[in-house]
Amino acid sequence: TMSSIFSYQSAEVDWCEGNFERSTVIAEYYNTPGRALQTSISCPSPYRRLVLTLSRVEMQTGSLQLSFLLAGIFSVYFHMTLSYVGQLLDELSILWTLTVAYSFWYPRAYFPRCIQSRKHFFWLTGVTTVISTLMSFIKPAFNAYVLNCIAFHLLYLTWRELKKCDDKRVHRTAAAMVVCWALAISSWISDRWLCGLWQAISFPYFHSFWHVLIAMSLLYCCPLVIYFDVNYEMPSFKPKIGYWPSDSWPVGVPYVALEEPRKRC
């Protein structure tokens, strides 16, 4: 019924953290703020403010950050209630966020042969996402595994691009992204498959670690994708990865600066 799918703990998925142990309103007390922190890290990052004002890049980053924000809100709602509707909103918002990212930033060089333009690719990703959305209602619990597998395709594309790039900052950013992602996916798998162990030692909080670590991975991933996109789509500009607050710091938040080459007389 309509009321049951909105009710607390009606979702097919329940993470390792105990429910309502520290609050009578919030089901997963640590996963909920962990997801909120993930959203705050992903959305107002310095690379958004420091990118050169250019309509195409601004439109893309703005659209993607709006998608991140909505995904964050829906996920917070899910972890607060563990409701069936919350689970669907959480997983489908991630799916559509990935659609936005792929639609804007998937390199033309990797388009299928049947796709002749970015407009055609928009239609392909849109139709695929609509079909995936409808299939999500059949077995929502399976969605999370499928969504995580998409990361392997992204890592494959990154590897192919790195083979053509000798910029040390780009390789440094990619390495940081992979390390954060590896730690994140390890935390996610540990929470799902080793829950009994973590509950036995009273430390069932690895899913909250996943939220923070995957947000850190996105901080490195998004500028990296923008860097490659500029190389493909705006060859008159020279992209450069910098680090906030300082390039000399061993750890920093990456951003993309666009430098227009000087014209020769």
Binding site residues, as ranges? 14-15, 17, 19, 28, 79, 207, 211
Query: Could you give the CA distance from residue 47 to residue 178 in angstroms, rounded to a whole number?
Result: 19
Task: List the binding residues for Zn(2+).
Answer: 79, 207, 211
Burial zone of 215 (CB within 10 Å; 0-12 exposed, 13-18 middle, 19+ buried): buried
Query: Residue 150 to residues 31, 86, 134, 173, 181: CA-CA distances in angstroms?
Result: 23, 22, 18, 20, 12
Q: Are 46 and 226 in contact (CB under 8 A)?
A: no
Comparing CA positions, the residue from 91, 79, 69 lying closest to residue 26 is: 79
Three-state SS at 18 = coil
Helix (H, G, I), strand (E, B) or coil at 238: strand
| Neighbour-count burial of 250, counting CB atoms closer than 10 A to its CB (0-12 exposed, 13-18 middle, 19+ buried) | exposed
Binding-site residue numbers for Ca(2+) are 14-15, 17, 19, 28
Residue 17 exposed, middle or buried by CB count within 10 Å (0-12, 13-18, 19+): buried
**CA torsion, ordered 209, 6, 74, 29, to nearest 10 deg:** -30
- Distance between CA 130 and CA 18 in Å, rounded? 34
Max Cα separation, the chain?
A: 73
